[in-house]
């Protein structure tokens, strides 16, 4: 799987050039607007809640000794909780709402890579693409939260909390890559088949998602470029896998 993670990361290398070559930037206007508005909304909400969560956690400590230390640790953990949940909500919101706009992008990339302008595959309307995006991301959101909450609780365990941070990052990356890959998969597979495909190629999903998450750490530029680059990289690699498995011409 480690090899596939690096393959998923490497797919980003030609994304800028491919977007420009196929003149895809115009398709990203609305998704970029969705990304910016969502990021600002979640960011402002997180800023206001982080201290409250820290104080709530610190209330668990009933003694006076060590109170300041525990409060400082609680505030830090509160910030991590807010950031983690904020990232989870952010990526699933933008992926769900951007689905109808990203599907044409992945379709053009597929046509470019296969040389076939009209693949004989599943056809869907704007509404169906939007509903598919919402359904996939609601499913992934529920799954991710179920995994993330226990990982966040490990933050209270010394030493273990170091490894929990890495695990949390990889879980976030997997579901980000999942969403990016599904823009291509929705034309070829139904809901359950897509889940199985990504599970089989989880290394590619994680690799794509790692860069997705890292891009969000770049102020301003990250939330603008994250969808164009990650969707292009995911579409390119997903089509290559489909071609290898003889699922596209």
Show me where the domains of the chain are located.
2-244
**Predicted local confidence at residue 82, as pLDDT:** 77
Alpha carbons 108 and 24: distance in angstroms, whole number: 9
Place of tokens 């292009």: 232
Q: What is the pLDDT of residue 57?
A: 66
Which of 157, 144, 160 has the alpha carbon at shortest distance from 85? Answer: 144
Long-range contacts (CB closer than 8 Å, 24 or more residues apart) made by 164-170:
168/84, 169/210, 169/213, 170/206, 170/210
Cβ–Cβ under 8 Å, residues 106 and 86:
no
Please tell me the distance from the alpha carbon of residue 49 to that of residue 29, in angstroms, as a whole number: 30
Question: Phi/psi at 134 (nearest 5 deg)?
Answer: -65, -45
The CA-atom distances, in angstroms, between 189 and each of 8, 29, 102, 179 are: 21, 27, 16, 14
CB 19 within 8 A of CB 62: no
Q: Which residue, among 241, 247, 239, 243, has the nearest Cα to 18 in the 3D structure? A: 239
- Residue 67's pLDDT is 67
What confidence score (pLDDT) does residue 248 get?
Answer: 62
The structure tokens listed for 64 are 């006076």
Instruction: Say what the pLDDT of residue 114 is.
Output: 87
**Cα 246–chain centre separation:** 27
Indicate the burial class of 76 (C-beta count within 10 angstroms; 0-12, 13-18, 19 or more).
middle
Write out the chain's pLDDT in tens, 249 residues. Answer: 889 999 999 999 989 999 999 999 999 999 999 999 988 888 787 777 766 766 676 667 667 666 677 777 777 777 777 777 888 889 899 999 998 899 889 999 999 998 876 655 556 677 888 888 888 889 999 999 899 888 877 766 777 777 888 898 999 999 999 999 999 999 888 888 999 999 999 999 999 999 999 998 888 888 999 999 999 999 999 999 998 876 665
* Two tokens, residue 99: 């689905």
**Any idea how long the chain is?**
249
């Amino acid at each position: 799987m480690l090899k596939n993670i690096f393959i998923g990361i490497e797919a980003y290398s030609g994304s800028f050039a491919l977007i420009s070559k196929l003149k895809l930037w115009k398709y990203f206007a609305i998704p970029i607007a969705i990304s910016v508005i969502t990021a600002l909304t979640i960011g402002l909400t997180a800023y206001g809640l982080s201290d409250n969560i820290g104080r709530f956690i610190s209330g668990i400590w009933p003694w006076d000794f060590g109170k300041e230390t525990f409060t400082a640790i609680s505030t830090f953990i509160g910030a991590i909780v807010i950031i983690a949940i904020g990232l989870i909500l952010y990526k699933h919101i933008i992926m769900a709402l951007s689905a109808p706009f990203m599907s044409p992008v992945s379709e053009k990339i597929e046509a470019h890579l296969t040389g076939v302008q009209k693949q004989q595959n599943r056809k869907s309307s704007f509404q169906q693409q939007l509903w598919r995006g919402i359904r996939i991301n609601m499913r992934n959101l529920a799954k991710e939260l179920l995994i993330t909450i226990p990982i966040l609780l490990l933050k209270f365990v010394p030493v273990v909390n170091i490894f929990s941070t890495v695990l949390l990052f990889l879980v976030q990356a997997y579901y980000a890559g999942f969403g990016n890959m599904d823009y291509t998969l929705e034309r070829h597979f139904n809901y359950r088949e897509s889940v199985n495909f990504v599970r089989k190629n989880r290394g590619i999903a994680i690799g794509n998602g790692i860069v997705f998450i890292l891009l969000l750490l770049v102020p301003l530029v990250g939330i603008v470029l994250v969808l164009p680059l990650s969707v292009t990289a995911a579409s390119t690699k997903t089509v290559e896998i489909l071609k290898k498995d003889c699922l596209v011409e």
